């Protein structure tokens, strides 16, 4: 899937040709599992849904646990190398047209005994393809999804990989094979569907039960497939309602159908805002053999409180946001390992183009050039180097300002992109240049409302540094920080947002939905036909053209004053000596990627 999780950066790797089943990770005998082992993991955000493909569910906190509760067709290891998953194999069976076949293992079963098969993957394709939507959007003012009326279809999801598949898949009679035909070549087909935390998505038979009132799993799967094949708007309207919000919950649901999964762990307890417990499911038929019986996720957004929980023995493993105080406190705890390093998440500034605010052409009678000058002026005031020096270097002395939207410093394409994008114009703060641009625009400039997590110490410092600098150029800055910032993304209530992106894969098309017109992650309403054209070219680009096209993309973003990258997150993993098998990777699901290797010795 071409999607980033809120908290998301990207790197590029060539897609593998075939991912096939092999010896499972965490392989071994049941007696490897410690009979009563309990591992407590600290996290900063609570789980909210069994469907992380919606805009509401698009969060690392959901992806981490869904990855433990569900198998997949592939995942990344700690070297960002693609590894085969446990649901089956996927393989490219044709180049012209591009065809990809998914074959499900006989061991792939949902926790209620129903086979995982083509119906589940077909539902995920239908929901993410936008092929069946009858409206472009169906959201309330607060960003939540409205319930579709009869005949209206709107799936709250978007993915380039799925959108390139226009036709109903070829499905074998037993449902064990599904072949999808792409409408054009797609560079990232190997990580496009069924990869990582997404897996095959929701169980189609449960969606049919909730949406269509069909209790029999086989009949339910057939009803889902028939609705998709026949483009039955009445049925798809009900299916989309269930898919969009029917699997959201903030505490342990009474309806056990919502907890149906196909991986080794099942959810057994969930106290709102406090903790969530996973236990090994004895009915799991797949090949994974995790060593820990019970994993409890304990929630607290305060990183210092999380360190205190580690010291008190309440938490065994955590990845809190790194600050100098957090790092120092963690290192002072006896019997604890502290590992630091770059994270794939990167901090950035996003501007809003479509809310009648200071960066929107509508505020200047539709004058695009005036709006762009105001955006450029604002970006000239962002003190990126000062932010890195004061906030990040105490944690990572080698930290540098990140100058690419899509590549981490040191990656193969990074230098070429930075040299050709023109981002060097924002290398230093230019207050006088910003003033000159604002004078050219003339008149009163609307206040700039900055949104960020105002409970986050790092972001509080960032906001203050940006505010002080921008005000020197004459901007009026309003603090609209909010602990619930993520629910407001795209609602028009702010003009500049500070947050991070974390990649779900390393594909060359990973950033597509951030910049494409009307895409899921394009919260600022940015739209440029040339940008869309470059993104179209990237979808089908041979590897040799990747660097040039990536440079063209970033030059267009700089020319349009889209926003700015600031820094790579400093990563921090803290775990007790009693825990082994801990490893981190720089795409979601981060430290959870090899949960089957975790072991608690006492």
Three-state SS sequence of 286-351 = CCCCCCCCEEEEEECCCHHHHHHHHHCCCCCEECCCCCHHHHHHHHCCCCEEEEEEEEEEEEEEEE
Q: Is the peptide bond before 97 cis (omega within 30 degrees of 0)?
A: yes
Give 253's contacts (C-beta < 8 A, 6+ positions apart).
259
The predicted structure's pLDDT at residue 3: 44
The predicted structure's pLDDT at residue 405: 92
Four-CA torsion 121, 122, 123, 126, nearest 10 degrees: 130
Quick one: which of 298, 303, 301 has its CA closest to 316? Answer: 298
Helices and strands (DSSP H and E) totals, the chain: 17, 20
CATH number, domain 343-569, options 3.40.50.970, 3.40.1190.20, 3.30.70.1380, 3.10.105.10:
3.10.105.10
Four-CA torsion 174, 179, 180, 183, nearest 10 degrees: -140
Q: pTM value? A: 0.79
* CA separation for the pair 424, 329 (Å, rounded): 37
The predicted structure's pLDDT at residue 428: 97
* CA separation for the pair 464, 310 (Å, rounded): 31
Pairing of strands 4-6, 496-503: antiparallel
* CA separation for the pair 314, 365 (Å, rounded): 58
Assess contact for 298 and 275: CB atoms under 8 A. Answer: yes
Give 188's contacts (C-beta < 8 A, 6+ positions apart).
2, 15, 161, 505, 507, 508, 509, 510
Query: Is 3.90.76.10 the CATH classification of the domain at 88-193+203-246?
Result: yes
Sequence spans of domains, the chain = 88-193+203-246, 343-569
The predicted structure's pLDDT at residue 141: 65
> Could you tell me the mean pLDDT of each successive run of 10 residues in the chain, 602 residues long?
39 24 38 70 95 88 95 89 93 94 97 98 96 86 77 88 93 98 88 85 98 98 98 97 96 98 98 97 95 97 94 96 89 94 84 98 98 98 97 86 87 89 97 98 97 90 97 98 89 95 69 86 95 90 84 97 94 94 84 96 78
The predicted structure's pLDDT at residue 395: 84
Quick one: which of 500, 496, 588, 581 has its CA closest to 321? Answer: 500
């Amino acid at each position: 899937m071409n999607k980033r999780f809120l908290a998301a950066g990207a790197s590029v790797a060539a897609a593998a040709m075939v991912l096939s089943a092999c010896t499972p990770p965490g392989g071994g005998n049941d007696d490897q599992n410690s009979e009563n082992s309990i591992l407590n993991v600290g996290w900063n955000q609570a789980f909210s849904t069994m469907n992380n493909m919606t805009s509401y569910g698009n969060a690392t906190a959901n992806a981490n646990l869904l990855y433990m509760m569900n198998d997949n067709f592939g995942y990344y290891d700690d070297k960002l190398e693609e590894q085969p998953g446990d649901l089956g194999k996927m393989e490219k069976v044709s180049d012209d047209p591009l065809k990809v076949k998914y074959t499900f293992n006989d061991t792939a079963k949902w926790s209620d005994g129903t086979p995982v098969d083509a119906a589940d993957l077909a539902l995920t394709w239908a929901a993410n393809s936008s092929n069946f939507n009858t409206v472009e959007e169906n959201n309330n003012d607060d960003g939540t999804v409205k319930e579709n009326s009869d005949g209206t279809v709107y799936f709250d999801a978007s993915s380039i990989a799925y959108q390139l598949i226009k036709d109903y898949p070829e499905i074998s009679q037993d449902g064990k094979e599904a072949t999808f035909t792409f409408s054009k070549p797609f560079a990232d087909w190997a990580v496009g569907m069924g990869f990582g935390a997404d897996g095959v998505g929701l169980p189609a038979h449960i969606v049919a039960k909730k949406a269509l009132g069909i209790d029999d799993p086989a009949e339910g799967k057939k009803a889902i497939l028939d609705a998709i094949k026949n483009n039955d708007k009445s049925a798809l309207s009900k299916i989309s309602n269930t898919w969009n919000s029917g699997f959201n919950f903030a505490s342990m649901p009474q309806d056990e159908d919502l907890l149906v999964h196909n991986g080794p762990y099942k959810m057994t307890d969930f106290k709102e805002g406090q903790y969530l417990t996973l236990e090994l499911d004895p009915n799991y038929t797949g090949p994974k053999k995790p060593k820990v019986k019970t994993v409890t996720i304990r929630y607290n957004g305060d990183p210092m409180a999380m360190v205190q929980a580690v010291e008190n023995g309440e938490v065994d493993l955590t990845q809190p946001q790194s600050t100098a105080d957090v790092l120092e406190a963690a290192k002072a705890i006896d019997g604890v390992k502290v590992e630091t390093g770059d994270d794939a998440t990167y901090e950035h500034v996003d501007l809003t183009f479509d809310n009648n605010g200071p960066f929107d052409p509508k505020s200047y009678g539709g004058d695009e050039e005036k709006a762009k000058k105001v955006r450029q002026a604002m970006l000239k005031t962002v003190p990126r180097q000062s932010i890195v020096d004061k906030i990040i270097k105490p944690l990572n002395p080698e930290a540098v300002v990140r100058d690419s939207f899509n590549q981490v410093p040191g990656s193969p394409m990074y230098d070429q992109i930075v040299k050709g994008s023109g981002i060097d114009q924002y290398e230093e703060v230019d207050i006088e240049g910003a003033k000159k641009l604002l004078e050219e625009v003339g008149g009163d400039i609307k206040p700039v409302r900055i949104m960020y997590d105002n409970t986050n110490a790092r972001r509080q410092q960032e906001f203050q540094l940006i505010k002080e600098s921008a005000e020197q150029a004459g901007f009026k800055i309003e603090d609209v920080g909010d602990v619930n910032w993520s629910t407001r993304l795209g609602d028009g209530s702010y003009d500049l947002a500070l947050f991070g992106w974390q990649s779900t894969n390393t594909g060359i098309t990973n950033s597509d939905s951030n910049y494409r017109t009307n895409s899921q992650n394009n919260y600022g309403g940015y739209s440029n036909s040339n940008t869309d054209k470059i993104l179209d070219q990237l979808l089908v680009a041979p590897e040799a053209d990747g660097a040039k096209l990536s440079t063209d993309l970033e030059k267009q973003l700089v020319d349009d004053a889209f926003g700015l990258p600031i820094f790579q997150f400093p990563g921090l993993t803290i775990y007790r000596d009693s825990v082994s098998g801990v490893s981190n990777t720089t795409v979601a699901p981060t430290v959870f990627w090899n949960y089957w290797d975790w072991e608690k010795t006492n």
